[in-house]
Each structure stands twice: as C-alpha cells, then as structure tokens.
A and B are shown apart, each in its own frame.
Chain A
C-alpha cells in the first residue's frame, strides 16, 4: 500500500495548479455554468475534479467512497452552482461543497450522528508547550512527503477531517466548525492535536 502511495507523482500537483484559470476567464465559465451550459460545467469538472477527488480521498476511507462523493459533488453542481455568489474564490467554495458532501457521507454511515463529537476536556486548556521548537519541522526536512501523506491518511477521523479541510481545502476555522458542527475553539484544538499526533507518528518513523 505504501508503495502505491508513493506512486502519487509530482506532475499532478503542477497539473492541478497550473491549469487553474484565474480572473475573468473563470468568472465567465462560472457564469455560463450557472446558466446550465453543459460545456462550462464540463470545463469546471476538468479543472477541479482532481482537487475535489483529493479532498474526498483524504476525508473518506476508501477510493470507492471518494469516487462516489466526487461524482455527487459534480452531479449536484448543476444546481448548487447557482448559489455561488463570488464572495469567496470559487475553488474554495467548491472544496467547501465537497467537504460538506464528504461529511454527509460520513454522517450517513454513522446513521445521522455527528461525525466528530466534542469531548469536554479537549476544548478548554491550551497547554504551555510554547518553549520547544516544533519537532515536525525538523522531521519534515528529512522525510518524504509521501510519508507525511501516509501519516495523515492514518490519523483518526477526528484529527484527519479538520486537518485536511484546513490544509488541503484551505477552509477557515469557522467554515470547518460549521461543517463539522463543532465550536471554533474545538476546531483549533483538534488541529493542534492533529499536528502533535503527526509529529509523534513521523518522529517514531524516523528513529
């Protein structure tokens, strides 16, 4: 499995970013898509399917579920794109929609229960670890990205979801809190703990 994971190749990163349209081009495509122009919808699909799939893949536990969620997102896009008002960048909006889709899928699996439940002790205290430099940065300079990805993929759901929404989907704390039905503080705490857990995992590995 790890070997497969390493197959994730660099070019996809560039492909994902380099082909992103900016400014007026994108705007006009979105406008046309809002008018149910199939070609424009196709263009959006082509541009963003990889990023959306990536988010889904990180949030859900299998490729199949991620594929399902991705198709759902684009299937619903025909309608949902009407609600896009341009107040935030389109990619971020789309990833927010995708995040919602994944959380819906997770919630369905848990029979309607909340995906992440707040545990009281985690919200409150912010420990004063302040003095130590972050060990992850040291680790990162040595480790492959693949290992980081692998570690993220193996994080428990309550850490993985906020982390992915934040650093892949680039959602704000408020947006993440809203999607997961949590308090903003708790999201901050989860992100912090997720990183600590990552450092622990990667630290173990490098030794």
Chain B
C-alpha cells in the first residue's frame, strides 16, 4: 500500500483525521516503518511547538506582584480621577471666586473670538474678564495640575512604579518646588497701577483692564490688559500682551510686544521685538538699539539708534535710523526729514509703492528690489530641500523603528483609530501652546516651557512619520512585519504626503489633518507607554 502524505499524518497526529481514515492509517503504520518514523518526528515537532509556546514571546509578562482585576483597575482609575477632579474644583472655588468659563472662552474655536488670533484673544479675555485674572488663573491651573500629578502619582506608586517614570517624578518635584516659591509679584484688578511714588522691586505680573505704571518697576513688567501704559520707569524688559500699549515713560530693557498697537513716546534702552497691527515711534520716542517687528503699519517719527528691520504692510519713516533700514512688505515712504545712517534695502512687489522724498538722507547704498514670488516648483533648490527633508524623515523613522519597534508600530496602528486620534491630536495641537504660555508665566518658568515647546515641535514633526507609515501600509498591505516592509511603507506614505501637501488649498487642509492624526496617535501611545503595564 502507498504511504500517506506528510500532511495527512500531521492531521492524524493532531487527532483531527476522520475516524475511518485514521483507522486505515493506523493499519498502515503497523506495516510501514518509514511512516512510523514520520509519525514520531511529527509528534516530537508538535510537542516542541507546544512547549516552546508555553512561554511568552518577547518581554515576558512580569510576574504579577499583586493580582489586580482589570475591572477594578479601571474603576479605581475613574474613582481617583473623579476624586482629584472634585478636589480640584473645590480648591478652585476656594482659592478665589474665579469665573473660569469666561476666562476659557477664547479656547472655544466656534466663537468668533476663538477663530481670530489666539494671542490677541488671550490678552483680550484676560483684560475683559476683569476678575478672571491671569495670576490666579495660572496659579489655579498650576495647583490643579499639581493635584492631578500627585493624585496620579499616588495611584501609580500604588501599582508598580517603573524607573522610566523618573522624568515624570522629576517634573512633579519641580512643580511642587516652584509653586510656592515664585519670585513674581502679582497684581490684578480692573485698574492696576504702580503709583508715581511707588517702587516695585520684583518682576511685576500685572493683569487688568488697564495697567498703568507711573512709578518704578525694578524688574521686568509682564502686562496683560486691554490697555498697558508705562509713564514711569521699567528697569527691565516690558512684555506686553494688550490691545494697546503706550510707553511714554522709559523702559530700560527690551520691549516684547504682542499688541494691537504699540506707541513709543518715551525712551527705550534696547530694542523692540514682536508682532502688532501698528507700531508708532513718535517724534519724542527714542529707541536705544533697534527694531525687529512684523506689523501692519509702522511709523517712525522719532529716533532709532541702530538697525530697523521691518516686515510691514506699510512703513512710513520721517525720523532717523542710525544704521540700516531693511524693509520687506508692501509700501515704504521716506519723507524729507527721514535720515538713514546706513544702507537702505527694500523688497516690495511694486516699485511704485516706494516713495523716497528728495530731502531724505540715506548715507549708505540703496538696494530696492522687486520681490517676485516665484513658484517653488521652478526652483531646483525646492526639490533638493524636499529630498533632504524626505531623507531626514526616513532616517528618523528608521531610527525609531530600530530603537523602539513596538512603539513605532503601535503609534502607526493608532493612526488607524481615526476620530480618536484626530480629536486627541487637535486637542494636543491647540492645548499645548496654552500650557506652554501658562507654564512660562507662572509655574517653573521658561526652561520647562522651552522643553515642552521643543517636545511639541518634535511631536509635530513625528506626526508625519506615523501617518506616512500608516498610509504606506494601507496601500502596500504587506503580509509580513519585517523592518524592510515598514520602511518601504514609510517611504511610500511620505512620498504621497509630500505630493499632496503641495496641492493648493487641499494640501494645507490635508497637512493639518495629518498633523492632528499623527499627534493624536503619538499622544495616545505615549500615554499608554507611560502607564504601567497591566499585570498580565
């Protein structure tokens, strides 16, 4: 009789062969030595398979220290979060009677205000909220976060705390230390003033409808308000988020300004930086160093000792600029009284919009050019940069794949969860800058916010990689999971994303969605990676 095939014997070994056929095979085995050998080999194979599989692949589940039920875990988390929230809300009410909803209105993207410039809204609402003052608001947010972190860490400590959460612990300690020991002096009311005979020795954080300094601030002045006016002296820098900022006294440092308008009638020791709708340096105004701004309208009637670099719709200069004037924008007018101590360089779209009066003095050279907006696509440099960008993204993707394969793959898969990633990503995209601003002002100060900013930018960059890999895999549908497959998918996905990005209008929208999706997936995976593993 002919021997049975290996597959049939294999099915027999698995005990899955039909009764009748199994009987025939048994009969055959009695006479056929070769088939018996095969049978033994297959049995051994099954045994080794089963035995090998008894252990877990990869990072074997760590032994369950204290067995937790998943449902009780879930509930305990909910309970703790709810408790912390409740506690937080009590604390919020207790610290001050804040009208937080009003202070948060600017976050609402559906409102008219929400749609317009975030920074302006920030200043506008803090100014208009009247009682919802930034100082307390930020302090509340800070304490609230601290509570959340402490509550969360207590919860985490109750479970297994892993060394990789050291960073988080450090952050908690930093937050805890920084909260009580802030060197800021905070003032808030409808009308915040530093009286003429008063001197503030610390940095002053002033929030109110009207902030007016008639006296002296020895540190910096951070001002949020509808109108910020410095009639006295600020020895440090002036950082102003306001609808209208007027400096008629003196600021000895720099002015960092994000206002609707900035008028300088007085003395400024160093420079003006920032973005605003209108900047005016009046004839009594004097800038010790230079100006670097982006603005709708710039008028310089007074004196600027060094360079002025303006990105402006319209610029009128009738005062004097000690060194160079560089301007890019729409139109420039130099009147008879204008004096420019260095070179003049201008980039405009239309030469007719540059008016230089005969009486204007320009000591250096004049370099006036028409700024032609060339399509990127005609420049080889564009393609070179895109190629470099793509190569860099591939390199980054490859590194992550080598170093954190599980994380890479999980993040990519998380993109597929669609709305969750999109929503979460949008939240992160919009929320993190707010957190950065708040932290920069009140909590640990600039270093942490800068770290957060860097992390934020990196996360935005990485979002292209997760989405690229996901898109590539969606298209290629690889059956295997080798690194090569992932990289090929990443390449294909990134190429497609790069091309789509340059489709007019649609490209911008797609790019935005990609960033949201990627950020959301990344945030989700980070959350999961930091959360202690379930006790499996």
A residues whose Cβ falls under 8 Å from a Cβ of B: 1, 4-5, 7-10, 12-13, 15-17, 38, 41-42, 45-46, 49-50, 53-54, 57-58, 61-67, 70-71, 74-75, 78, 109, 126-134, 136-138, 140, 145-146, 148-150, 152-154, 156-158, 163-164, 166-168, 170, 172-173, 188-189, 191-192, 195
Contact = CB atoms under 8 A, between A and B. Distances in A.
A70 B536 contact: yes
Interface in B55-95: 55-61, 63-64, 67, 69-74
Contacts of B48: 136-137, 140, 145, 148
A74 B3 contact: no
Contacts of A173: 11, 14, 16
17 contacts: A1-B58, A9-B60, A13-B54, A15-B63, A38-B72, A54-B53, A130-B5, A130-B6, A130-B9, A133-B41, A134-B45, A136-B41, A137-B40, A149-B53, A166-B14, A173-B14, A195-B10
B356 to A, nearest CB: 65
B405 interface: yes
A149 B41 contact: no
Contacts of B42: 134, 137
Given A49-B64, A134-B42, A173-B14, A61 B481 contact: yes
A42 B55 contact: no
Contact of A45 (B44, B67, B405, B533): B67
A2 to B, nearest CB: 9
Interface of B: 3-11, 14, 16, 34-35, 37-38, 40-42, 44-46, 48-61, 63-64, 67, 69-74, 405-406, 409-410, 413, 416, 479-482, 525, 528, 533-536
Contacts of B63: 12, 15
Contacts of B413: 61-62, 65, 109
Contacts of A189: 7
A137 B45 contact: yes
A188 B11 CA distance: 7
Contacts of B61: 12, 50, 53-54, 57
Contacts of A166: 14
A4 B57 CA distance: 9
Given A126-B5, A133-B38, A140-B45, 7 more contacts: A12-B61, A49-B67, A50-B64, A74-B70, A74-B71, A130-B3, A140-B48
Contacts of A15: 63
Contacts of A152: 49, 52-53, 57
Most buried by B among A42, A49, A127: A49
Nearest to B58: A5
Nearest to A78: B71
Nearest to A174: B16
A103 B149 CA distance: 37
Contact of B57 (A38, A57, A172): A57
A80 B315 CA distance: 74
A45 B55 contact: no
Contact of B409 (A62, A74, A191): A62
Contacts of A127: 5-7
Interface centre among A62, A66, A191 (most CB of B within 10 A): A62
Which of A54, A164, A167: most chain B Cβ within 10 A?
A167
B475 to A, nearest CB: 14
Contacts of B7: 126-127, 129, 188-189, 192
Nearest to A2: B58
List the 4 closest pairs (A to B, CB-CB), nearest first.
A134-B41, A53-B536, A8-B60, A148-B52
Contacts of A41: 69
Given A8-B56, A130-B9, A74 B69 contact: yes
Nearest to B535: A49
B50 A167 contact: yes
Nearest to A157: B479
B38 A134 contact: yes
A195 to B, nearest CB: 7
A129 B57 contact: no
Contacts of B46: 167
Contacts of B45: 134, 136-137, 140, 195
Contacts of A5: 57-59
A149 B57 contact: yes
Contacts of B70: 45, 70-71, 74-75
A5 B61 CA distance: 11
Contact of B8 (A17, A42, A126): A126
Nearest to B46: A167
B308 to A, nearest CB: 55
